Amino acid sequence: MNEQLSVINYVLKKEFSLRNETVRENATFKLGRQKFVIDFYLQGKQIGIITMNWKRTIPTNKLLQLEQLIKTLNLKKLVLICNSISGNAREFLARRDIPIQVVHLNEVICKEKGIDDFISCS
């Protein structure tokens, strides 16, 4: 899985270097006592990209933390690149209308989804 995340980070860095986007890598935000780290932060579009290496699916409580991160940093959207997400977590995202776009690792590695698919604010 670490090789996949390394490939994803390499692909994202390469794609961002080809565009005129202002991107911060490993952006750390400290608000009060809380510290947030986002893998890639597109400043002009206010989009955060986080890659998560979980052995199983992303739990709902982690989505609550990500929702708090979105609200605190005033992000328009958060892209979550992960290996899988549970059906309950998908339903949770739909019910709460949280602006998190879930992208599977393999979709990026196999180029099923390009960077343009998830940096748009729609």
pLDDT at 112: 67
The domain tally of the chain equals 1
pTM of the model: 0.82
pLDDT at 76: 92
pLDDT in 10s for each residue of the chain, 122 residues: 567 777 788 888 888 888 877 888 988 887 677 777 888 998 888 999 988 876 667 777 788 888 888 988 899 999 988 888 888 888 888 898 889 888 888 787 777 667 777 776 55
What CATH number is given to the structural domain containing 52?
A: 3.40.1350.10
3-state secondary structure string across the chain:
CHHHHHHHHHHHHHHHHCCCCCEEEEEEEEECCEEEEEEEEECCCCEEEEECCCCCCECHHHHHHHHHHHHHHCCCEEEEEECCECHHHHHHHHHHCCCEEEEEHHHHHCCCCCHHHHHCCC
22: containing domain: 2-119
